[in-house]
């Protein structure tokens, strides 16, 4: 339509001062005009660029929704907040074609529990249009969809615009943190047993229903008490902290006790106080008695050397070979002294041949300490009177710190047949055939070399390699067998040595 011209006159005190014409025209209906081409009119562009005639035109006004840029959420802050809601979120966006808060549909969550939230403010940057725009919007997070405020929950947040053929949306996520209620919970404590009277014992705890710590370096936020009347202490270190669990270590000193004792450990957030503390019992154990864990061999034989290796537990972890002594006792010796040990010495001091600490350098108490020792009992170190019958011996391990532990070491009697003596041991050659020989043996049968026995029977006696003729006497006394043999004149002639 043709423009309409109106005359404008400005007067002062009823006196005309100035007059000029103003033209009016009916603007184009750009919404209808653009829609004919399946396009969308950009009202924001028209507001910044008003038309000067009623002519309809597409350039700059009609927007093809297929060519619009993809929505980008340049920043979302914060992305974490409490599950009971109320967190104000600020979104800086690009390519959200909206210029009023009511243009935007904002959805938190998904499915049947999703919640629609109103946009609190929308601030497009100057010069923004449907085709190119930036801005900032804010909204408040609702209570966690579904209502579980005790769980750590992540939900999608959808920001969408829809009018005409134009559809645009951007998606981000928000993490709801648990709303803590009641005291903290101790999920684990290690170790749960500590030695009595020990210092510097490191205990690791893992907590839930506990605030996430902003920094692992601030261990003062995790506090504890240990034992009745124990003062507050800070954690030695914070190992990890999340919304679901926090792990920290404490260094504890334990009381000296004679029997097992339960000591209460409470752990809490410094800002919450002991009213929301988690509590558990730590068992304080008295020092264990020294023990012999193993030894080998577990027996020996009289008259033969035996080397024994033993593992001893629960000694002072700082023990050295100089602090340990070994003594050998023989039960039932009835006052028989050890050879070379003096008339009243009824035990034998053993030489320590090897000493090895089996525990690591981190072992500071007797509960974890173990050592290995090695010693030898010589063939001639036990009383000769016990050679045949053997003896029940015991080895005593003692330390300068007062620990004493023993273990049995049976020494079996020597059952090997052997010569005790031969008489005479020197003889002129011309007297060999007229001399009886007395032979004393040990550990032989009671009827070995019986009287009247002859060469080739159950015993064979030779002198200088020559066989004798007969046994003229034989008797048994305990483990010893005495045999008297008589050589034949022709059998012994020329004998020089050797029976």
| Tokens matching residue 275 | 């009213």
Q: What is the pLDDT of residue 497?
A: 46
User: C-alpha 155: how far from its chain's center?
Assistant: 35
Question: Is residue 184 a contact partner of residue 210, using CB atoms and an 8 Å limit?
Answer: yes
What is the rounded CA–CA span in Å between residue 443 and residue 479?
6
Tokens of 128: 């923004």
Q: The tokens of 463 are what?
A: 């002198």
pLDDT at 467: 67
Q: Give the model's pLDDT for residue 342.
A: 53
What confidence score (pLDDT) does residue 66 get? 83
CB proximity list for 267: less than 8 A, separation 6 or greater: 184, 186, 205, 207, 222, 223, 224, 248, 250, 277, 278, 279
- pLDDT value of residue 453: 52
Q: Give pLDDT, residue 469.
A: 65
Going along the chain from its start, the domains and CATH numbers come out as 4-63 (no CATH), 69-177 (2.60.40.10), 185-285 (2.60.40.10), 291-412 (2.60.40.10), 418-492 (no CATH)
What is the distance between the alpha carbons of residues 436 and 6, in angstroms, rounded to a whole number?
A: 172
Report DSSP letters for 341-405, one per residue: S-TT--EEEEPEEEEEE-S-TT--STTT-EEEEEEEE-TTSS-GGGTTTEEEEEEEEEETTS-EE
- How many CA atoms lie within 13 Å of 390's alpha carbon, on the beta-carbon side? 15
Other Cβ atoms less than 10 A from the Cβ of 48: the count is 13
Q: What burial letters (b/e) apply to 92-126, b meaning 16+ CB within 10 Å?
A: bbbbbbbbebeebbbbbbeeeeebebebeebebee
Helix (H, G, I), strand (E, B), or coil: what is residue 103? helix
Preceding peptide of 132 cis, ω within 30°:
no
In this structure, what token pair is assigned to residue 287?
């020092």
Question: Is residue 95 within 8 Å of residue 72, measured between CB atoms?
Answer: yes
Q: Under DSSP, is residue 57 helix (H, G, I), strand (E, B) or coil? A: coil
pLDDT tens per residue, the chain (499 residues)? 566 677 778 888 778 888 888 777 788 888 889 888 888 888 888 888 888 788 888 888 888 888 888 899 999 999 999 999 999 999 999 999 888 899 899 999 999 999 999 999 999 998 888 888 899 999 999 999 999 998 889 999 999 998 767 788 999 999 999 999 899 999 999 999 999 988 899 999 999 999 999 999 999 999 999 998 889 999 999 999 998 899 999 999 999 888 899 999 999 999 999 999 999 999 999 989 999 999 999 999 988 899 999 999 999 999 999 999 999 988 755 556 677 655 456 788 899 999 999 999 888 888 899 999 999 999 888 887 788 778 889 999 999 989 999 999 999 888 778 888 888 888 676 676 678 889 988 888 888 888 765 444 567 777 666 666 678 888 888 778 898 887 766 544 444 444 4
DSSP annotation of 288 reads: P
Label the pairing between strands 121-124 and 466-467. unpaired
Would you give the distance in Å from CA 158 to the centre of its chain? 43
Three-class DSSP category at 60: coil
At residue 207, φ and ψ (nearest 5 deg) are: -120, 150
155: CB partners within 8 A, 6+ apart:
108, 109, 110, 144, 145, 173, 174, 176
- Any idea which residue has 């190119």 for tokens? 132
Print burial letters for 206-218: b (CB count within 10 Å at least 16), e (below 16): bbbbbbebeeeee
CB 135, CB 96: distance < 8 Å: yes
Map 396-423 to HEC letters. Answer: EEEECCCCEEEEEEEEECCCCCEEEEEE
Buried b (16+ CB within 10 A) or exposed e, 237-265: bbeebebebbbbbbebebeeeeeebebeb
pLDDT for residue 254: 93
- Ranges of H-type helices in 206-361: none
pLDDT (0 to 100) of residue 479: 76
Dihedral over alpha carbons 272, 273, 274, 280 (to 10 degrees): 50
């Amino acid at each position: 339509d043709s423009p309409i011209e109106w005359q404008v006159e400005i007067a002062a005190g009823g006196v005309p001062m100035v007059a000029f014409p103003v033209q009016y025209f009916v603007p184009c209906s750009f919404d209808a005009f653009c829609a004919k081409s399946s396009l969308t009119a950009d009202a924001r562009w028209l507001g910044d660029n008003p038309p000067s005639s009623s002519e309809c035109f597409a350039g700059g006004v009609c927007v093809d929704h297929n060519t619009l840029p993809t929505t980008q959420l340049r920043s979302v802050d914060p992305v974490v907040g409490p599950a009971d809601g109320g967190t104000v979120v600020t979104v800086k966006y690009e390519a959200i074609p909206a210029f009023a808060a009511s243009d935007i549909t904002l959805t938190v969550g998904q499915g049947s529990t999703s919640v629609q939230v109103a946009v609190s403010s929308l601030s497009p940057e100057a010069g923004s249009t449907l085709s190119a725009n930036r801005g900032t919007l804010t909204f408040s997070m609702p209570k966690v969809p579904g209502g579980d405020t005790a769980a750590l929950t992540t939900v999608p947040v959808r920001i969408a615009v829809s009018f005409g053929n134009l559809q645009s949306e951007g998606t981000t996520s928000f993490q709801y943190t648990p709303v803590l209620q009641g005291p903290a919970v101790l999920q684990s404590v290690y170790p749960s047993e500590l030695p009595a009277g020990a210092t510097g014992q490191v205990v690791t705890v893992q907590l839930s229903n506990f605030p996430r710590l902003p920094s692992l370096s601030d261990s003062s936020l995790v506090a504890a008490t240990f034992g009745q009347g124990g003062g507050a202490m800070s954690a030695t270190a914070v190992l990890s902290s999340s919304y679901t669990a926090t792990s920290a270590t404490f260094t504890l000193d334990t009381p000296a006790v004679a029997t097992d004792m339960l000591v209460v450990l409470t752990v809490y957030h410094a800002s919450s106080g002991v009213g929301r503390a988690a509590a558990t019992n730590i068992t304080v154990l008295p020092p264990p008695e020294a023990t012999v864990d193993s030894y080998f061999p577990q027996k020996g034989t009289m008259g033969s050397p035996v080397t024994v290796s033993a593992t001893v537990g629960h000694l002072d972890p700082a023990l050295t070979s100089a602090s340990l002594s070994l003594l050998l006792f023989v039960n039932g010796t009835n006052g028989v002294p050890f050879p070379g040990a003096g008339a009243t010495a009824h035990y034998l001091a053993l030489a320590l041949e090897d000493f090895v600490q089996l525990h690591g350098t981190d072992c500071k108490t007797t509960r974890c300490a173990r050592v290995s020792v090695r010693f030898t009992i010589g063939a001639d170190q036990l009383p000769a009177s016990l050679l045949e019958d053997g003896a029940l011996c015991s080895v005593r391990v003692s330390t300068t710190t007062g620990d004493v532990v023993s273990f049995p070491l049976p020494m079996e009697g020597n059952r090997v047949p052997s010569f005790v003596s031969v008489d005479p041991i020197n003889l002129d050659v011309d007297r060999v055939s007229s001399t009886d020989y007395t032979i004393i043996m040990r550990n032989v049968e009671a009827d070995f070399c019986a009287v009247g026995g002859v060469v080739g029977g159950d015993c064979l006696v030779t002198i200088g390699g020559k066989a004798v003729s007969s046994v003229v006497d034989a008797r048994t006394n305990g483990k010893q067998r005495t045999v008297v043999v008589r050589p034949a004149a022709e059998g012994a002639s020329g004998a020089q040595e050797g029976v």
